[in-house]
Structure 1
Amino acid sequence: MKWTLPNILTTLRLLAAPGLAVMFLYFNRPWADWFALILFLGAAITDWFDGYLARSWKQETKLGAMLDPIADKAMVVIALMVIVGYSSMSPWLVLPTTVILFREVFVTGLREFLGDTAGTLKVTKLAKWKTTFQMVAIAVLFAQGIFEHYLGMSAFGLDSATFERVISGEAADPLGLRWKLAGMEWSGRAGLWLLWVAASLTLITGFDYFRKALPFLREGN
């Protein structure tokens, strides 16, 4: 194995994946949300950076080719598990998450079954766009958690009538309830929209991989 800088960055991204869940085990919210968001964004940046360095420095290796998709999948899967686990289990969130997780398991199983012929399932440009939408959606959904928690902290102790008067503009808003609510709602909508786009691309690319693998799944081959 050749330990180049791109490979080291990919390995760090892989190790950062379980760190997302650890943040919520050892830190209280909203610090856990902040740390998870920063860790996720850092990992997402290295995803582009290690590939760029490997190509420009001509340091593409078998180790990097193996670790890179594993690190991407680990980051996405663990991040989505954390987000769903700390959500209200809305079907608008759970359904696209289920589609994404199912596709990752399905394609991984296909590649394992194909063995030496797994090169047939090369990563396509559409699959890269799928990963990009997943990463952006997850980052936005982590941001929604931050807005939501700060809103809850600021509204703590207020009765519902006072809260409604502040939100409607009938009362002063020294705690910033209105902008925190707006941030929570807009990031929530944007995150869900992006996640549904990612889930749609996930279905398309998953079907494309299955179609390419079909000749190798027929009996007698």
Structure 2
Amino acid sequence: MARNPLTLVPNIITIARIAAIIPIVWLVISGDTTLRMIALVLYIAAAASDWLDGYLARAWNQYSPLGRMLDPIADKLLVGILIAALAWDGSFSALDMVPVSAILFREFFISGLREFLGNAKVVLNVTWLAKWKTTIQLVALAVVLLERAVPALGIVSDLLLWLAGILTLWTGFEYLRASWPHLVDEPK
């Protein structure tokens, strides 16, 4: 008898990461620096849980289709919704919106591409560079969160955002290039 995927620890961690988005955003948009620092702590825990759930899934052999589906969605929700909250509260400058827009564009585009290719039974495997892209995105947003309390981090957050934006576009291009034959050839 198969185990209920909702009882697998890696899936519970992934679902908790998704659930953490709501209090993180509420704390960020409150406008209070102390609450923002609490949001930062919750965000770091949520971001670290991305590594933890994958590690536990491998170590305990607790894989499931639900986990494979939810894990990348949790990452995209955490990044995308936090970007929206940070844009809303004025944490991004007009120039910051360039890499931020690149990040959002790529995440939506590649998700749609994966869905399309999934219908054709084509799998785009996650690359190591894409894993680093996610890590840099998560770190960049943590530094943006911290910047209100430590304004001297402004240049660091800008550099990390641009690095995240560049890596995000690069990995998006790599996925598009890998999928191109499946997009231009008619099925036989």
TM-score by length of 2: 0.90
Q: CA 1:135–1:118 in structure 2 vs 1: closer, same or farther (change >3 Å)?
A: farther
Equivalence map 1:28-43=2 (5 Å)? 28-43=31-46
Residue 201 (structure 1) aligns with: 167
CA distance in structure 2 between the aligned counterparts of 1:50 and 1:119, rounded to whole angstroms: 25
Q: CA 1:118–1:201 in structure 2 vs 1: closer, same or farther (change >3 Å)?
A: farther
Aligned residues: 183
Amino acid at match of 2:128: K
Amino acid at match of 2:97: V
Amino acid at match of 1:16: A
- Structure 2 residue 46 is the aligned partner of structure 1 residue 47: no
CA distance in structure 1 between the aligned counterparts of 2:84 and 2:139, rounded to whole angstroms: 16
Query: Kindly, what percent of the aligned residue pairs are identical?
Result: 43
- Structure 2 residue 151 is the aligned partner of structure 1 residue 184: yes
Contact 1:20 1:78 in 2 (8 A): no
CA distance in structure 1 between the aligned counterparts of 2:102 and 2:160, rounded to whole angstroms: 14
Residue 177 (structure 2) aligns with: 211
C-alpha deviation, 1:200, in angstroms: 0.7
1:59 to 34, 58, 62: 62
Amino acid at match of 1:209: Y
Amino acid at match of 1:196: W
CA distance in structure 2 between the aligned counterparts of 1:88 and 1:61, rounded to whole angstroms: 37
1:92 to 92, 95, 100: 95
- Farther-moved stretch of structure 1 (1-10 vs 136-145): 1-10
Residue 109 (structure 1) aligns with: 112
Secondary structure of the structure 2 residue equivalent to 1:75: helix
Contact 2:86 2:92 in 1 (8 A): no
C-alpha deviation, 1:218, in angstroms: 1.6
CA distance in structure 1 between the aligned counterparts of 2:21 and 2:121, rounded to whole angstroms: 25
CA distance in structure 2 between the aligned counterparts of 1:118 and 1:46, rounded to whole angstroms: 29
Structure number, greater radius of gyration: 1
- Structure 2 residues without counterparts, runs of 5 or longer: none
Secondary structure of the structure 2 residue equivalent to 1:90: coil
Residue 128 (structure 1) aligns with: 131
Contact 1:99 1:199 in 2 (8 A): yes
1:77 to 61, 76, 80: 80
Secondary structure of the structure 2 residue equivalent to 1:142: helix
Q: CA 1:123–1:104 in structure 2 vs 1: closer, same or farther (change >3 Å)?
A: same
- Structure 2 residue 34 is the aligned partner of structure 1 residue 68: no
Residue 4 (structure 1) aligns with: 8
Alignment RMSD: 1.7
- Structure 1 residues without counterparts, runs of 5 or longer: 148-182
